Structures are given as structure tokens and as C-alpha cells.
Amino acid sequence: MTKNRTLICTFLALLSGFSGGYIGGQITLSFHTQKCQNQTWGLKQMCNALVTPSAVWQGSTTGLWTGTVLGAFVGGLVTRPTRK
């Protein structure tokens, strides 16, 4: 039972972490690119090119950590032995 519990918790933590990293990167990118909307076309493209790497990195890192911790917590709750 302990081996299965460890595998399930690890799988849920990794799945949740990678999903959170992707979603966090997309959300942060969306927020950061809104700052570039009031520029002319050329400056808008340059602003987006400068903002995108740091926004994706910041959001992905935050989402990865948050998702991994929450996924491990939920995995622990789901696989918790029942009391009799």
C-alpha cells in the first residue's frame, strides 16, 4: 500500500505541477502583454518580445511550485488510509 500511495502522490504532484506551470505561464503572459496594448504596431511588437520571456518564466515557476505542493497535498488526502 505504501508503494502505491507514494506513486499516486508523486504522479498527482507532477501532473498538477506541470499543469500549474503551463496555466500560470499563460495567465502571467496575458497580464504582462496587456501593458503593451497602447503602443503603436512596431513598439507593440517590440514590447511583447521583451515582456514574453520574463512573464512566461515568472508565471511558469510560480505555477509549477504551487501546483506541485497542492497536488502532493491532494494526493496525500486521496490516498490516506481510512480509520476503522
Write the pLDDT tens digit of every residue in 3-25. Answer: 788 898 899 999 999 999 999 99
Question: What distance in Å separates the CA atoms of residue 36 and residue 32, rounded to the nearest whole number?
Answer: 8
Across 8-22, 54-68, 70-84, least confident range: 70-84
pLDDT above 90 covers a percentage of the chain that reads 60
Average pLDDT, the chain: 90
Task: Sort 80 into a burial class: Cβ within 10 Å, 0-12 / 13-18 / 19+.
Answer: exposed
Specify the pTM. Answer: 0.81
Say if CB 72 and CB 12 are below 8 A apart. yes
